[in-house]
Structure 1
């Protein structure tokens, strides 16, 4: 089976049918009509080359194939649910991630000492990689995921890039 050609939403329907043993109730749980559940089941049957469920007086009874795959399917769905939920929250104490930040050497010298002190305390497993992306490439690097943040003068006006003021320096000119 080529997973690239399988609609992963079918596994949600499969789990609902397995749990409810009824196509109408499975549709209510998933939020689709009974004909849509029937259509999904037909696609699953074709994918697995197995009926998966047989209609009986007791409802939809799983075949041995369905019984064999329900555990791994439920595990995979649970992993996806957890992944989606965790992507919405960030727990610095448990985070184990490397953030790539574009900044100049001067910004690095100003920002890194206090940043590293806080990271040691609040996010001990978070790492920082510093690099300098060309200003005109920043948006592309962020979009591609090769860069997580960019600290720079507010020259990037792309509306898809969120800007937050971090520091306000007072510049002094010393002269003779």
Structure 2
């Protein structure tokens, strides 16, 4: 008598069953990942494009006022990117004072040491564009949010997610066809 454990390739009786043609676990995982990429790409990209567009609308159609820089701070973001955060109070058409905050990339080689650069910015007059219906909604001229980052996010993640969804769709169609073919053979 042959011992079953001595036979190569033998499958123990308590081993989990192999996946069959109708098992869609891998495709569902791909679908979940693809939909996540698509959602993040569309949500983040579209939101960023909308914000950048709002800034440009304020510059084109908003009311402008002159303000002076009263505070300069430096903030380090991911990948050691340093930005200058400037605070510019301004007086709106209703006679009340509001404040705009701007953000620009800081480079020590180009701009010099932080303390000297901050001293140079303090008191500088800058043009602020604001919405007359909501003066708190304002942007400093030249410091509008960019389109590039959101468009890259929208294109890469959104495109990758859409491609993954398409592959998933073809995977489901292929599984359905393979299952029909197996049923026809049976």
- TM-score by length of structure 1 reads 0.25
By percentage of residues, which structure has more strand? 2
Greater C-alpha Rg = 2
TM-score (norm 2): 0.24
RCO comparison, higher one (Cα < 8 Å, 6+): 2
